[in-house]
A and B are shown apart, each in its own frame.
Chain A
Amino acid sequence: MISLRAPRSVGATIAALALVLAGCREEPVRTYRTSKETLPPTEMPPAPTAGGELPAGHPPLDGSAAPAPNSGDTAALPPGHPPIGGGAMPAPGAAPASAPDAANDSISWAAPDHWVAKPLGAMRRGSFTAKNTAGEADCSIFVFPAASNPLLANINRWRGQVGLAPLTEAQLAAETTAVENAAGLKFVTVELLGQTGAGSTRVLGAILYRGEEAWFFKLSGPDAVVAAEKPAFLDFLRTVHPANS
C-alpha cells in the first residue's frame, strides 16, 4: 500500500528549491548595437509647456492643435496613441494608426454644405467646423483599432469630457441609440449634455465598428450650436458609405 505522506526531505527539498529559484528571476539588461533608425529623432521641437518636450510629429499639447474647445479627443496625441482615457491598447501585432490619409480610408462621407472643412491635424480623418447663427461647433472623425476600443470605455471617455459620470455596461443600452444607414453601416450614437470650462456643452457622438476599425464621429461645442446641428449631423451619418462602393 502506498502511503501518501511524503518524506520530510522531499518537502524540504522542494521548499528550498522554490526559495532559491524565486530569488534567481532577475532578468538581465540586454546590450546591443543596431544600425541607425530613421524614427528616433535626435532633436526635439521646443516644448510648449514648462519642461515639456514632444516626440517628432507630436502636435503641440497646449491646445493649438485642437480645433475647438472641448473637442479634446486625440487631436493632440502622436500617431498610434489610443484615445486618451480609453485605457486600452491595440492587441499584439496591431500597428499604430498611420498619419491621416483620407484618400485611402475604407469609408467615405459627404459633409453638409454649410460645414467648413479644416486641416486634418495629426490624427483626424475628417475635420469640420459646423457654423450656424448660434456659433460654431467642431466635428471630428477618427479611426482606431476596434479591438482596443471597446464601446463603453469610449462612451465614458466622451461623458468624462463633459463632466458626466461614467456608465456601467448595464446602463449602456439605455443611453445609446443604434442607427443603420442606407449603406448598411451600423452606428451607435449618443447625445451628451454637460458642463465644461466653456459652459454648457453638448456632444453628439457616433461610433462605427467596421472589421478591425472603430470609427469615431463627434460633433461637440456649445449646447445651442450642437442642438441646432443635430439634424445635419444625423444626415451626415447617412452619407457615410464604404469607400469602394
Chain B
Amino acid sequence: MRALLRTLVERLASLRITVVLLVLAMVLVVIATLDQVHLGIWAVQAKYFRSFVVVQQLPGTGVSIPFFPGGYLIGGALLINLLCAQFLRFTLTWRNLGLHFTHFGIILLLVGELLTGLLAVESHLTLDTGDTKNYAEASFERELAVIDVTDPAFDQVWAVPLSRLSRREPIALPGCPLTLLPLQFHENANFFMRRDAPNAPASPATLGFGPAVVVQPAEPTYRPNEENAPTAFVEFRGPDGPVGVMLATLAIERPQTFTAAGRTYAVVLRRTRIYFDFSLSLLEFRHDKYPGTEIPRNFSSRVRLRSAEGAEDRQVRIYMNNPLRHGGYTFYQSGFKNNDRTTILQVVRNPGWLLPYIACVISGLGLLYHFILTLAGFLQRRRATAATTA
C-alpha cells in the first residue's frame, strides 16, 4: 500500500506532467483570448478559466461536449503536481529554505485564485435616497424567483438558477407542490406588443402578461455596457396537473402572480439576490464639484447600517477609496444616477482577498533569501579565488 502511494506521488510529481499542464495552460490562454472577440471578457473568464472543463456546443446542434480542461482543472492539477514534488523532494536545509518559501507562496497563490473564483461574489446595491435594502443584486447571475406570497407575514422564495432553465428538464421546488418545466429559453430577446405584430405566432404563455407580448429571440450581446435579456417560457405544474405557462424575462422585471393549490405565487426573473443579515438605508448622496466648475471632487454616500437583530445601528460614509467593510462584504462607491438621487454601491464578497498579498510577500521573501544566499556564496568564492590568485 505504501509502495503504491509512493508510486502515485512520484507519478503525480512528474516534471512531464508539469510541462504538459503548462502547455495546456498556454493553449487555454490562446483559445480564450481568441474567443474573447465573441464572448467578451466576463463570459470568457467564466467559460475558460473559472471552470473545470471547457464545454463547447457543436455548431448546428444543441449538443454540448467538454473539449478542453478548464482553468480550475489545469490549476488544480498544477497545484497537486507542485505539492507532490514538494513532498517528494522536501529536505529542510538553510540552503533551500528560500526555494521552499517561494514554492509555498506559489501554492498559496493558486489556492487564493481558486478560492476567489469559487467563493467571490460581485454584486451591486442600488439605493434611492430614503430607500432601505437588505440585499444586493448579483452583477452577472440571474434567477427565476418563485415566491409564495400567501402568508401575510413573510414570503417563501425558491430561486432557480438560469442554468437550470436552459435544460428542458422538470425542476422540483423543495417543499413546494409546484414543479417547473422550462419550455423555451433564450439568452437574449427582443419584445413587441402583440398589437404591433398581429401576425406573430401565438404565445405559449397562458398566465400573466405573456400572451400580450411577442418574443423575438436575439443574439446574446457581450458588450461590456450592455446586458442580455434572458427570457424563458416556463410551465407550472401543480398536484392536479398543469397550471399554465408563464413568460419570464429580465426585460420586464415585474412579478406576475397566479394561484395554485390554494396558494398565491409571484414569479419574476431577476438579478440573483444576495441577502445580508443587516440593512442599509441611503440617507444622502453627495456629488461635490470644485467651485465654479463641473469637475467632480467627491462622490459619497451617507448610509445607515442596521443589523437584523438591532444590535447595531450606525451611520457610515462611503466614498472613493473608503469602502464600508461589514459582515464579510465590502461596499465601494461605484456610481450614481437619477440626478444624484440614487447611489450605486459595488458589493464584493471575497473570503480569499488577502491570500494573493500574503502569497506574494512569502514568495518575495523566499526569492530575496535565495538571492542573498547565492550572492553571499558567489562573493565568498570570488574572495577565495582572489586570495588564491594573490
Check: A78 CB closer than 8 A to any chain B CB. Answer: yes
Greatest chain B CB density within 10 A among A10, A17, A35, A78 is at A10
Bound: A77/B196 CA distance, A: 13
Interface check A91, CB cutoff 8 A? yes
In the complex, chain B residues 101-133 whose Cβ is within 8 Å of any chain A Cβ: 124, 126, 128
Cβ-defined contact, A14 with B73, below 8 A = yes
Q: A1 to B224: give the CA distance in the assembly, Å.
A: 47
Q: Which of A187-216 contact B (CB under 8 A)?
A: 212
CB 8 Å contact bits of B248-277 with A (1 = contact, 0 = none):
001111111110000010101001000100
The answer to whether A36 and B211 touch across the interface, beta carbons within 8 angstroms, is no
The interface on chain B, measured as residues whose beta carbon lies within 8 A of the other chain's beta carbons, has a size of 89
Residues on the B chain within 8 Å of A52, using CB = 208-212
Could you tell me the distance between the alpha carbons of A82 and B210 in the complex, rounded to whole angstroms? 17
**For the complex, what is the distance from the CA of A2 to the CA of B23, rounded to whole Å?**
14
Distance in angstroms between the alpha carbons of A72 and B139 in the assembled complex:
31
Closest A residue by C-beta to B54? A18
A220 at the interface (CB under 8 A from B): no
Q: A178 near B: Cβ within 8 Å?
A: no
C-alpha spacing A234/B338, complex, angstroms: 27
Report if B157 contacts A (CB, 8 A).
yes
Q: Give A21 to B209 CA distance when docked, in angstroms.
A: 39
For residue B367, CB closer than 8 A to chain A, the reply is no
Complex CA distance for A217 and B284, rounded to whole angstroms:
32
Our pick among A21, A34, A161 for the contact of B154 (Cβ within 8 Å) is A34
A30 to B147, CA, bound (A): 12
Residue ID in chain A nearest B342 by CB atoms: A95
Residues from 1 to 49 in B contacting A, C-beta threshold 8 Å: 11, 14-17, 19-20, 23
With A and B bound together, what is the CA distance between A205 and B219 in angstroms? 26
- Classify the secondary structure of A's interface with B: loop
Contact A89 to B257, CB < 8 A, known contacts A18-B69, A27-B164: no
Is the pair A84, B191 in contact by a Cβ cutoff of 8 Å? yes
| A117 located at the interface, meaning its Cβ lies under 8 Å from any Cβ of chain B in the complex | no
Interfacial chain B residues near A46, Cβ < 8 Å: none
Task: Say yes or no for A182: interface residue by CB 8 A criterion.
Answer: no
**Considering the chains assembled together, what is the distance between the CA atoms of A80 and B133 in angstroms?**
19
Contact A29–B171 (Cβ < 8 Å): yes
- The winner among B53, B335, B341 for most chain A CB atoms within 10 A is B53
Report B-chain residues with C-beta under 8 Å of the C-beta of A19: 53, 66
Question: Residue of A at shortest CB range from B336?
Answer: A212
In the complex, what distance in Å separates the CA atom of A186 from the CA atom of B123? Answer: 34
Whether the pair B147, A40 counts as a contact (CB closer than 8 A) is yes
> Is there contact, CB below 8 Å, between B158 and A36?
no
Count of chain A residues with a beta carbon within 8 Å of a chain B beta carbon: 78
Nearest residue in B to A27 (C-beta to C-beta)? B161
Contact B225–A147 (Cβ < 8 Å): yes
Are A90 and B227 in contact, CB atoms less than 8 angstroms apart? Answer: yes
In Å, the complex CA distance between A21 and B213 comes to: 39
Residues of B within 8 A of A53 (CB): 207-209, 256-258
Q: Does A133 contact B (CB under 8 A)?
A: no
Does B380 lie at the interface of the complex (its beta carbon under 8 Å from any beta carbon of A)?
no
Cα distance A21–B189 in the bound complex, in angstroms: 31
What is the CB-to-nearest-CB distance from A62 to chain B, in angstroms, rounded to a whole number? Answer: 7
> Is B363's CB within 8 Å of the partner chain A?
no
**Residue B194 at the A interface, CB < 8 A?**
yes
Residue of B nearest to A10 (CB): B17
Taking the closest CB of chain B, its distance from the CB of A15, in whole angstroms, is: 9
Return chain A residues, CB-CB under 8 Å to B149. 36, 40, 42
CB closest residue in chain A, given B16:
A6
- The CA-CA distance from A48 to B212 in the complex, in Å, is 9
Q: Are A22 and B66 in contact (CB under 8 A)?
A: yes
User: Chain A residues with Cβ under 8 A from B339's Cβ?
Assistant: 104-106
Question: When the two chains form the complex, which single residue of B252, B258, B275 contacts A55, counting CB atoms closer than 8 Å?
Answer: B252
Binary interface encoding of chain A residues 22-51 relative to chain B, with 1 for a CB under 8 A from any of its CBs, else 0: 100111111111111101111110011111
Q: Does B96 contact A (CB under 8 A)?
A: no
Q: In this complex, what residue of A is CB-closest to B136?
A: A93
Given A4-B20, A7-B14, A42-B264, answer yes or no on A17-B73 (Cβ-Cβ < 8 Å): yes
Q: Is the CB of B252 within 8 A of A81?
A: yes
* Other contacts beyond A40-B268, A41-B266, A61-B212: 8, CB < 8 A: A5-B16, A40-B155, A55-B255, A82-B251, A84-B191, A87-B218, A89-B250, A161-B196
- Chosen A-B contacts, 21 in total, with CB atoms closer than 8 Å, are A7-B17, A10-B17, A14-B69, A14-B77, A19-B53, A29-B164, A29-B174, A30-B157, A30-B158, A34-B155, A34-B157, A34-B275, A47-B212, A61-B195, A72-B196, A78-B254, A87-B218, A89-B250, A91-B224, A93-B335, A161-B196
